[in-house]
Amino acid sequence: MIEVQNLTRVFGDKKAVDNISFNVEKGEILGFLGPNAAGKTTTMRILTCYLPATSGTAKVAGYDVFDDSIEVKKRIGYLPENPPLYKEMVVENYLHFVAKIKGIEPRERKKKVRNVLERCAIMNVKDRIIGKLSKGYRQRVGLAQALIHNPDVLILDEPTSSLDPKQIIEVRELIKNLSGEHTIILSTHILPEVSMTCERVIIINEGKLVAVDTPENLTKKLRSSDKLMLDIEGPFDEVKSKLKEIPGVTRVSLDKFFKEGRGKYHIETKPDVDLRKTLAQTVINNNWGLYELRSEGMSLEEIFLKLTTKE
């Protein structure tokens, strides 16, 4: 659906986007992850034909963003970081205006506006002036604006920034419901958001592409060891030494005591060996009590920091 090749954009002598290439399949949700000023917004602006690229090509649904910008614009819904709202307008009139400039036929406009008011749950504020709405509602009106012409591609620039936790969850749910029929690119610097909503992640830093993969694969690829956590009831020293004897275990540490001999053991193992079964067997054989056994993958935060900070 979206093909980006060797995209570069220069502002003065600063490379905002530096030779980025990626593809997005139809119906996919792609997360754009990066620290502030990494080039996320610039890339999105190029895809929405707001800015031209200095070099490289980008295609949306087979149309070049530079040569066929009108065709691309018809197929894209864009929510910039600050929702583009006319503050003096009433919500419904505003959406009507957007429907007009998005090229929706006059007789379909009313229906589409209704539809989008319902989908974004802003039916109750449709007669209010946009300038008087709360931030959460404005964000939703912004989303409604991007959705109104039912675009193939949705580009959302930090859609959950400056919302309260409840609104964040609502917007995330909304985005998740949109996948399937729409191809979605969303940028964020909030990491859990990516693992929660996106099927694939692009990490970008200082204009350069650092990694493209699913959140799980990224986690898998980047960890040098697997971590497991066990909550076991039993004599500490005996447990520790017995666990250490299991082949594959590289380190055991007792981290937290509970009363009655219970403790939290952190175990590091060689990568790509799953020892959970053997560990459970060991516990049972020794007649200890097992309260919890869980693998502790490397969190996205750790990956992110690892990728975006220079050693």
Partner 1 sequence: MIVKNIVAIFDRELRSYFVSPIAYVVIALFLVIAGFFFYVMLNSFLNYSFRATMQAQYYRMAPPKVNVNMLVIRGMIHNFGLILLFIVPAITMRLFAEEKKSGTSELILTSPITTTQIILGKFFAGMTLLLSMIAPTFLYILIMIIWGNPEILPIFSGYLGLILIGGSFIAVGLFISSLTENQIIAYVGGLVVLLLFWVIGWAGGAGSKIGSVLSYLSLINHLDDFAKGVIDIKHIVYYLSFITFGLFLTYRSIESMKWRG
Question: Residues in the site for partner 1, rule: CB under 8 A?
Answer: 9, 11, 16, 42, 45, 48-52, 70-71, 73-74, 76, 78, 80, 82-89, 93, 97-98, 100-103, 145
Spell out a b/e string for 226-235, using b for 16 or more CB atoms within 10 Å of the CB, else e. Answer: bebebbbebe
Residue (9 or 172) nearer to partner 1, CB: 9
Residue (89 or 307) nearer to partner 1, CB: 89
The CA-atom distances, in angstroms, between 170 and each of 75, 77, 185 are 25, 19, 18
Q: How far is the CB of 155 from partner 1 (least distance, A)?
A: 9
Whole-angstrom distance, CA of residue 249 vs CA of residue 271:
10
Q: How far is the CB of 154 from partner 1 (least distance, A)?
A: 12
Which sign, positive or negative, has the C-alpha torsion 273, 279, 280, 281? positive
Q: How far is the CB of 56 from partner 1 (least distance, A)?
A: 15
Residue (55 or 250) nearer to partner 1, CB: 55
Residue (51 or 283) nearer to partner 1, CB: 51
- Here the tokens at position 130 are 């946009």
Residue (128 or 240) nearer to partner 1, CB: 128
Residue (151 or 215) nearer to partner 1, CB: 151
Residue (44 or 275) nearer to partner 1, CB: 44
Q: How far is the CB of 83 from partner 1 (least distance, A)?
A: 8
Residue (88 or 127) nearer to partner 1, CB: 88
Q: How far is the CB of 281 from partner 1 (least distance, A)?
A: 59
Are 76 and 132 in contact by the 8 Å Cβ rule? The answer is no
Q: Which of 222, 224, 240 is nearest to 232 (CA)?
A: 240
Residue 204 corresponds to which amino acid? I
Q: How far is the CB of 143 from partner 1 (least distance, A)?
A: 13
Are 208 and 20 in contact by the 8 Å Cβ rule? The answer is yes
The CA-atom distances, in angstroms, between 131 and each of 55, 134, 196 are 39, 8, 31
Q: Which of 199, 187, 194 is nearest to 303 (CA)?
A: 194
Q: What contacts 43, CB < 8 A, 6 or more positions away?
A: 4, 7, 9, 17, 20, 32, 204
Residue 162 corresponds to which amino acid? S
Q: How far is the CB of 8 from partner 1 (least distance, A)?
A: 13
Q: How far is the CB of 75 from partner 1 (least distance, A)?
A: 9
